[in-house]
Structure 1
Amino acid sequence: MSSPTPSTLRVGRRYRAKRLNGPYDAIVIGSGIGGLTAAACLSKMGKKVVVFEQHYTAGGFTHSYDRNGYEWDVGVHYIGDMGADHTMAKRLFDHVTDGELKWAPMDANYDRLFIGDRQIDLMAGPKAFVDSLKNDFPDEHQAIDSYMGYLNQVAKALPGVTLAKVLPNLLAGPFRRLANRKAPAFLNRPTQEVLEGLTGNQELIAALTGQWGDNGLVPTESSFIIHSLIARHYLYGGYYPVGGASEMAKTIIPVIQQSGGEVFTYADVKEILVEKGRAVGVLMADGETVRAPAVISNAGVYNTFGPLLADNAPHKAFYQMKLGNVQRSMASVCLYIGIQDTAENLQLPKTNFWIYPGTDHANQVDNFLKAPDEHDIPLTYISFPSAKDPSFAARYPGRATVEIVAPGPFEWYADWADKPWGKRGDDYEAKKEAYSQRLLEKLYEKMPQLRGKVDYYELSTPLSTDYFCRYSTGEIYGLDHNPERFEQDWLKPKTRIPGLYLTGQDVMTCGVVGAMVGGLLTTVAISGLKGLPLAKKMFVG
């Protein structure tokens, strides 16, 4: 077969100053899903929005790439809540894509946990989920029922947390205090602490928290808010975008263009322009100035209040101080694997594997990071995208793909950070190769039929995340989702600088839908009363 060229997966229009068609109503820095969502929602309201993406393709962590005749998604492994039109996540996707993005369900057993020698299957649907857990833990029925009740209580409390993000400051404080009084006491407590209040069975706790890699923080440190959001998000199973993750940007961009907007790639924003205390536009790397009454940053709070703002910008010192109250999330590596055979022949499942050496996630991570050669990998996540996507076989006949994600701190690769991408030397490649082999062995342990059949593999490190997505330490989830993060009232769309707004995963939470909710909240913050019907449509239906 002929291999697809990289251009087939390049989404967006290449930036040239002469291609700008202003004036624009809003500028979005970064084409991650939060920025694309904000741009599409504003476009639906008649606003002309331009999105600037420094990478060669739009989509942020939702983009795909191909190499050696294979295609991989860099960050989208599965999405929940896509099986029914009434869910907020499905309504939001349909809104920003005009219903053009299609979804394929995974297997009913969407996540399989390997905890030590034990296998636990998470099943789609609340009843199947509970029944399966009770079968695995016959003495823990009451704890499992109480846990499901806790998830429901958090779901009822979250609209208050969300609404406070877009209320004016004079109202947000009192509203937040009122919402906190009505919220359950465990809402923003550490996940492990909350679950140990329900059961002393550490195997059950390890099973309930078996998806902690979806937010990148071990249960002893994460907030029960993010745990609950993720757990509920997948209660009805996992789904995968037909055509791969790049279909997200492909289907959203035409909506942005409906009101005259555009998404530009190779468009590097160097500075947010602030005049007379107000954000008025951006300065591009080529020296071009682009102006708009609203500047929306999807570049993350560290970039927004760091290199993108001049040192004398108003309120920069305030935000620099506030950055001391949050932490960058964990970094990871991803092994992209290609096999010259079909997913069907290879018996690849539509199920994700989560592999843990034992129940004590925190100590396993700590020990591994201190001495990686002496300890087992504390979390290995394996995804089979070519099995999940029903269009893959037609697009890449006779091919199959696997992806493996595992912890990989930036510090391991810092010695090569100043080297150019793709030319970091033999020592760097040797370090990557050693880890690749360990990850391949994890795959072969669970899928022995794949041994000897791998045709191609390459390991992406935090240096790649920095190069392509401008997360300087490879922090794929933005900010740590610990209890302190959810107490930060400045993490909201409207900043102290008039005309400057935040969007994406740092506004609300990580994950595709979390970042999209950030985009929706930004739209409401910019539009004011005009945005309330949109918010009601998404959150209420």
Structure 2
Amino acid sequence: MKDVWDVIVIGSGMGGMVTAAALSRLGHKVLMLEQYNTLGGQTHSFSREGFSWDAGLHYLGGFGPDESARATLDWLCDSPIELAPVGPVYDTLHIGKSTPLRLSRPVAAQRMDLKERFPDDSAAIDAWFDAIVDGKDALSVVGQVRSLPPLFEGALWWWRGKKFKRYCEQTTAEVAREFTSNPELANVFVSQWADFGGRPSTASFAIHAAVAWSYLEAGAYYPVGGASSIARHLLPTITNNGGEARAAAEVSSVIIENGAGVCVTKVGSQAAGSRDQ
């Protein structure tokens, strides 16, 4: 066997890069394999006619200077990524033939903008923002429960289970319909579904609430230098700790021998394996 590693990560999207970088930070020698010819998944950029375009990233929410996500990203990277604030208006909605509507922060500003557009729906707008707060709190219960021993897990479910069921088990569209019968306002309520790819008819409202709140609370940010700067800062963490990230390395099979040795075979090259645990 040519190469022996502590851990092999298949795929170099954000999930793969973050996993590989975190393990590298903790002292593991990591091999990351990517079948595409560019590392970084949807963080990579491309050029057309002198302009640079991002393949997947739009903007980042929850990455303000004092946010835990920002601190985690800084820890994962070889050096901090410079993130530029988008500003108080982070989205503009174009719904039908109506005048475009700004989505702004903080909550008070967006609440006021919506009430100016929909003066007859003031109560529904207030109820929606209250639900956003409750929904994002409900989602946090999931992580809390999974980190607790069974005895405390049951106590937490008893304490917060009702809120979890209401907002995690209902779709975004179902919650929106509870508050308004105005189709245009309902479209505004659910408009940020594209930020996480969950259609309002199927996505958990709690996920929608967490995403919406991340922009309302901390604002939207964009990495200076484009989305590819994320990969440029994450990948050195892997290589500087003795690891390697390989593009154009398609994985053809994963072989587990005796429940310990793991071999990853690449098309057209020798096998790579992880050390026995």
| TM class by smaller structure | 0.7 to 0.9
The number of aligned residues is 274
Which letter does structure 1 place at the counterpart of 2:86? M
Instruction: Please name the residue that 2:262 is paired with.
Output: 280
Deviation at 1:142, TM superposition (A): 2.0
Deviation at 1:127, TM superposition (A): 1.7
1:239 aligns with 2:221: yes
Q: 1:172 to 1:116 in 2, by over 3 A?
A: farther
Counterpart of 2:109 (choices 114, 123, 128) is: 128
Deviation at 1:44, TM superposition (A): 1.2
Q: 1:60 to 1:136 in 2, by over 3 A?
A: same
8 A contact 2:265–2:272 mirrored in 1: yes
Which letter does structure 2 place at the counterpart of 1:101? I
Deviation at 1:34, TM superposition (A): 1.0
CA distance in 2, matches of 1:73, 1:134: 34
Q: 1:165 to 1:37 in 2, by over 3 A?
A: farther
**What TM-score do you get using the length of structure 1 for normalisation?**
0.47
Deviation at 1:100, TM superposition (A): 2.3
Deviation at 1:257, TM superposition (A): 2.1
**Unaligned stretches of 5+ in structure 1?**
1-16, 295-498, 500-541
CA distance in 1, matches of 2:253, 2:247: 17
CA shift digits 1:149-181 (9 cap, x unpaired)? 21222222223312455679x789868965645
CA distance in 2, matches of 1:183, 1:279: 41
Across the aligned residues of Structure 1 and Structure 2, the Cα RMSD in angstroms comes to 2.7
Indicate the SS of the match to 1:230: helix
8 A contact 1:49–1:256 mirrored in 2: yes
8 A contact 1:165–1:172 mirrored in 2: no
More helix by share: 2
Counterpart of 2:252 (choices 270, 274, 278) is: 270
For residues 134-149 of structure 1, the aligned pairs below 5 Å read 134-149=115-130
Deviation at 1:290, TM superposition (A): 1.3
8 A contact 1:48–1:259 mirrored in 2: yes
Indicate the SS of the match to 1:288: coil
Q: 1:278 to 1:199 in 2, by over 3 A?
A: farther
Q: Which runs of 4+ in 1 moved over 6 A?
A: 170-173
1:94 aligns with 2:74: yes
8 A contact 2:139–2:168 mirrored in 1: no
8 A contact 2:134–2:163 mirrored in 1: no
Q: 1:64 to 1:229 in 2, by over 3 A?
A: same
Q: Which has the higher contact order (CA 8 A, sep 6+)?
A: 2
CA shift digits 1:385-435 (9 cap, x unpaired)? xxxxxxxxxxxxxxxxxxxxxxxxxxxxxxxxxxxxxxxxxxxxxxxxxxx
CA distance in 2, matches of 1:213, 1:62: 17
CA distance in 2, matches of 1:181, 1:278: 43
8 A contact 1:157–1:183 mirrored in 2: yes
Which letter does structure 1 place at the counterpart of 2:265? L
CA distance in 2, matches of 1:150, 1:33: 30
Counterpart of 1:251 (choices 233, 240, 250) is: 233
Instruction: Please name the residue that 1:158 is paired with.
Output: 139
CA distance in 2, matches of 1:208, 1:199: 10
CA distance in 2, matches of 1:172, 1:69: 57
Deviation at 1:234, TM superposition (A): 1.7
Q: 1:164 to 1:274 in 2, by over 3 A?
A: farther
Q: 1:36 to 1:206 in 2, by over 3 A?
A: same
Deviation at 1:60, TM superposition (A): 0.4
Aligned-pair identity (%): 36
For residues 198-237 of structure 1, the aligned pairs below 5 Å read 198-235=179-216, 236-237=218-219
1:64 aligns with 2:45: yes
CA distance in 1, matches of 2:155, 2:266: 39
1:116 aligns with 2:116: no
Q: 1:176 to 1:293 in 2, by over 3 A?
A: farther
**Unaligned stretches of 5+ in structure 2?**
none
Which letter does structure 1 place at the counterpart of 2:258? K
Indicate the SS of the match to 2:125: helix
8 A contact 1:93–1:99 mirrored in 2: no
